[in-house]
A and B are shown apart, each in its own frame.
Chain A
Amino acid sequence: MTPTSRRLLLSAPFAIAAVGGVGFYTALNRQRTGAYNPRGVPSALIGQAPPDFTLPALPESGVEPFGSADLRGIGRPVLVNFWASWCVPCIIEHPQLMRLSREGVPVFGIAYKDKAADSLQFIRRHGNPFNRLAQDIPGRVAIDWGVFGVPETYLLDAQGIIRWRYAGPITDEVLEQDLRILLRRYA
């Protein structure tokens, strides 16, 4: 073995450790920004703008509909919540959405595969937390977003980039331990 190749060989452990260190550092950083969560369900859309869409309003609700254009550059973090009147966990998470809405956090709702009359009855009975409300009866937009099922919530930052996705009801715990921290971080 020549001295040069021997020296290269002896430096290999250092090089491997350095590469590993950079890898771990990146992993930790992405964990801090919420792009990587070892316990969460991943989303391909994290770190990206939402897919293009326009959706109609929920008739007689009196709430403006929204499309992807309306999510761009609101200047503050916004929640996009997929829900349906036929979904029981949506009733569980509803008080938390109401609370957030009262605190002034913009919550945009998409009624997913739901009859307009049923959706309407749901928000009349339980209250309307949604600043904007659209309906996605065929469920196409939900497919573009990669929605697993309702309820499912996305957090977009001030620039309209998706930062967090939660599949399942936003319980009190999720709200306190995850969502509030994220809202503060992206405020």
Chain B
Amino acid sequence: MIAELGHFALALAMILALAQSILPLLGAEMRNGRMMATGAPLALGQCLAIATAFGCLMYSYAINDTTVVNVVQNSHSAKPMLYKITGTWGNHEGSLVLWIMILGICGAAVSAFGRELPTALRARVLGVLGLISLGFLAFTIKTSNPFERVWPPALDGQGLNPILQDIGLALHPPLLYLGYVGYAVTFAFAIAALIEGRVDAAWGRWVRPWSLAAWSFLTMGIALGSWWAYYELGWGGYWFWDPVENASLLPWLIGTALLHSAIVVEKREALKTWTILLAIIAFGMSLLGTFLVRSGVLNSVHSFANDPERGLFILGLLMFYLAGAFLLFAFRARAMIPTGVFAPVSREGAIVLNNLLICSITAVVFVGTLWPLFADALFGSKVSVGPPFFNAASFPLVVPLLLAMAAGPLMPWKRAQLVPVVMKLWWVAVIGFATFFVALLASGQQVLPAVGFAFAAWVVGAAFADIADRTALFRTSLGNAWSRAKGLPRAAWGAAIAHAGIGITAAGIAGMGLAQERLVSLAAGESTTLAGYEWRLDSVRDEVGPNWTARRAYITVLRDGRELRVMTPARRFFPVARMHTTEVAIHTNLMADLYAVIGEEEAATGRAVVRVHYNLLAPWIWIGAAIMALGAALSLADRRVRVSAPNRAAIRAAPTTRPA
């Protein structure tokens, strides 16, 4: 009954989405106010319907309804309630419903908070959102119905992949989807602008909160996924250049470029065509990620179901939205005449450089991810593109990017001089060089990590220099600087904090370049040393959990003969899924992680394989990402974002002649 209600709610949402994709768009074209006004209630109704469907699915999971195929395939009665519930979106069908629900919430948010948007623009944005929703609802209902019944009911579920029974992974997809879907909204704004044939500063201001929010969530989602891989997979790495990881990095990179170029549209009414293009590509990359994960064309640890039929449907959707948008772009983008002119050396110029470099990195990741697929699928030749390629090809692009991102915020708009910027940054450069030499000496002449540390210091220092410059910290009294700091727009703080976050992540990555590890076979009582610590295996014991059994090792870590901590890595066995997972033991003091993994045991000798890592500055990678997301959130709370430009809105809302 509940499952049928969910199925019905999905169908209802699809009908509402159909109406939402026709009426407001048509109304805006015919200047019919009543038709345009249908957008908001339809979006709200659609959101409610999908939320109902999602709630029904969640309920089916919570009570372990074994007459629902989706529950049987992905859940089990022995699973803790938390993971029964998070299991709702731990599979292809459920995650699609979650995706659409988030899209519905965004649509409802546009209709609820977008009251100051011009009526026609809002109607068009809602129309495009309805069109996106329609496609994905059709996809869900046609190929991936989560409410399909099975009769007679199965005795119990087939269990969820034990690797997915983890709180980090439970939160990873919703955060990613919040990011992906946020780019659906910026996409909708771009399409609406193309239809209207007009982009101005006000448009830039409306797009900004969405691109900020999307970027913030995507940053957290990617960081959470990387952190999860670090502590759950037990390989000690944090980024593997896996195709699906790359698929989430692509929209993040384009989104970063969009974030910056939209500022130029807002402040200077330049880079309009380019920003529209980025908004389309950002959503295109999100869809591409969806396609790659769900069609099975890539070989990855992340894939959902391998079904070419579904792949074909998503490809159809991808092509419809993307090719349609690009076609519109080709015909209408000429209407976007830039009004602001600027010199190459200026804030705008720095942002253009930022965009060029980020897009080049995107191209590297894009080609590296998709080339093996195309080479194999089209020409039948096996090519393997691994981390060495990505590292080698992106490093020369990241270096100038980090160099330039320090200077950009210190430059004035329109026209800048290099000398004053250099004068503001010389001491940061000195610190950077000093860091390089100190790191070089301390690490035993490892050049690349030392370069990484130097750039980290440079970026963090430059963020500080930016704030110091804006508050006139070294030019006036401290009290004066304090009052200036309080008056500084939150967007300025946000930008500086996000930039500093990049620097902190860079330091973490550089630190991981100095990580040490050792793989040894130990009997109880034996010990090994790594990075100045003594690791002693005391015992390996049995343990029983709700749906698993485990062998847990007790490893005492000693420093200079003093006991520091007992680490307890385990190897879990899930009888239902017949799978092993590793439970890594991590002890962190925020400057470094002690990381221990237990492997196979030799039955004959009683020895256990133990792998220990010393990961310098590893936590900084994710702390940096959290700081970036925080910076974006702070920027989102800026007054200029909260209060839209009333003048321009009034001008736009007033009836004007129809744009050509």
Contact = CB atoms under 8 A, between A and B. Distances in A.
Interface residues of B, number: 32
Nearest to A13: B326
A125 interface: no
B329 A13 contact: yes
A28 B318 contact: no
A17 B378 contact: no
Nearest to B315: A24
Given A13-B280, A23-B378, A32-B308, A38 B326 contact: no
Contacts of A42: 376, 380, 382
Interface stretch (A3-11, A111-119, A131-139, A146-154): A3-11
A10 B311 contact: no
B334 A27 contact: no
B377 interface: yes
Interface string A7-35: 10011011001100101111111111001
Contacts, number: 78
A166 interface: no
Contact of B377 (A6, A11, A13, A30): A30
B297 A24 contact: yes
Interface of A: 6-7, 10-11, 13-14, 17-18, 21, 23-32, 35-36, 38-39, 42, 44, 46
Nearest to A46: B380
Q: Is the interface of A mostly helix, strand, loop or mixed?
A: helix
A105 to B, nearest CB: 24
B299 A39 contact: yes
User: How would you classify the secondary structure of chain B's contact residues: helix, strand, loop or mixed?
Assistant: helix
Interface of B: 273, 277, 280-281, 284, 291, 295-299, 308, 311-312, 315, 318-319, 322-323, 326-327, 329-330, 333-334, 373-374, 376-378, 380, 382
A10 B333 contact: yes
A95 B530 CA distance: 50
A14 B327 contact: yes
Specify which of A6, A17, A23 lies most central, judged by the most chain B CB atoms within 10 Å of its CB. Answer: A17
11 contacts: A7-B334, A10-B273, A10-B334, A13-B329, A14-B327, A17-B323, A21-B322, A23-B374, A23-B378, A24-B315, A28-B297
Contact of B296 (A6, A25, A38, A46): A38
Given A38-B296, A38-B297, A27 B319 contact: no
A31 B334 contact: no
Given A17-B319, A17-B326, A24-B297, A31 B308 contact: yes
Contacts of A46: 380
Given A18-B323, A31-B311, A31-B377, 4 more contacts: A10-B330, A13-B277, A21-B322, A30-B377
A-B interface, 8 closest residue pairs, ranked by CB to CB distance from nearest = A27-B377, A14-B326, A38-B299, A11-B330, A21-B319, A13-B326, A36-B377, A32-B308
A27 B374 contact: yes
A27 B378 contact: yes
Contacts of A31: 296-297, 308, 311, 377
A17 B299 CA distance: 23
B329 A21 contact: no
B315 A25 contact: yes
